[in-house]
Amino acid sequence: MYDLIIVGAGPAGITAGVYAARKRMHFQMITMDIGGQASLSWDIENYLGYQFIAGPELIEKFKEHLQKFDVEVRENEKVTLVEKSDAIVKLKTDKRDYAAKTVIVASGRRPRKLGVQGEDELKNRGITYCATCDAPLFTGMDVAVIGGGNAALDATLQLIKIAKKIYLIEAKPLLTADRIMIEKAKESGKVIFYSDTKVKRIYGDTLVQGMEIEKGNKVEDLSVGGIFVEIGSTPASDFVTGVQKNERGEITVNCSCETNIPGILAAGDVTNVFAKQIIVACGEGAKASLAAFDYLNRTEGQT
């Protein structure tokens, strides 16, 4: 029986782990990987204390901080169910069952798919959802980035150093990324911008060879060897039962990261908290851990 189980080890989960260790709680961390989407970011200029740092480097520093407390993290373990029964929170994973007095769900988000013809067939055959992981595979090639937010521009800025030409395709009339990122992309001279443009289909025999896009009534064919899908993400919350969620599937929490079920808390990008940012997720992870500690103190002897 654990005091606390933390599901996920991105910025929110790691911060929650550091705070739980400092409170001497008996806890366990369970995750598929360490770092989450933060480890996929390349150009981080807005995390306090660092004028510039790459995502993998920042996550490595987070890990080092966590390891100072000798915290055990069970990696490559997928949580399939979180539910509360008889005052105890029960968890199931693809490897074993757990029980705890409290749980913090910090499972983050999953990349959203385009949902067009050819995407499933050519996934990992030229279609990728992670520029940080896969950009070097497309050195000297013409590629496309789908999306207009910070994630899409982050991928574009990485590819500027690697690819020959980059088509940036956004379905909305305007890009929503930070202006400084858009300016850097324009200054490179390598990026061709398409706004108010939809992807119709992706084609190729065994590897991506190109794509069809539609702007207004005009259909155009782009010959590309790589397609980076950066159109946002969906919360990884489907395994949590009973908690209130909003229309986007995000777990609804109050300012103390508490859900509608006592003992189940949530933190970071999986919740309805405003702004999906690394620094925000860290703060939410700290709050969730402190709230879990407070809950344990208040309910001691009752469970």
Catalytic residues: 130, 133-134
Tell me 78's DSSP state: -
Q: Specify whether the CB–CB gap between 69 and 22 falls below 8 A.
A: yes
Residue 288 backbone zone (phi > 0: left; psi -120 to 50: alpha; other: beta): alpha
Nearest to 78 by CA among 62, 96, 90: 96
Nearest to 24 by CA among 301, 298, 293: 293
Residue 267, token pair as written in the block: 């933190």
The helix/strand/coil state of 180 is: helix
Q: Give the helix/strand (H/E) hosting 154.
A: helix 150-160
Tell me 267's DSSP state: -
Residue 70 backbone zone (phi > 0: left; psi -120 to 50: alpha; other: beta): left
Q: Specify whether the CB–CB gap between 148 and 231 falls below 8 A.
A: no
* Neighbouring residues of 199: CB distance < 8 A, sequence distance ≥ 6: 114, 116, 146, 169, 211, 212, 213
* Neighbouring residues of 121: CB distance < 8 A, sequence distance ≥ 6: none
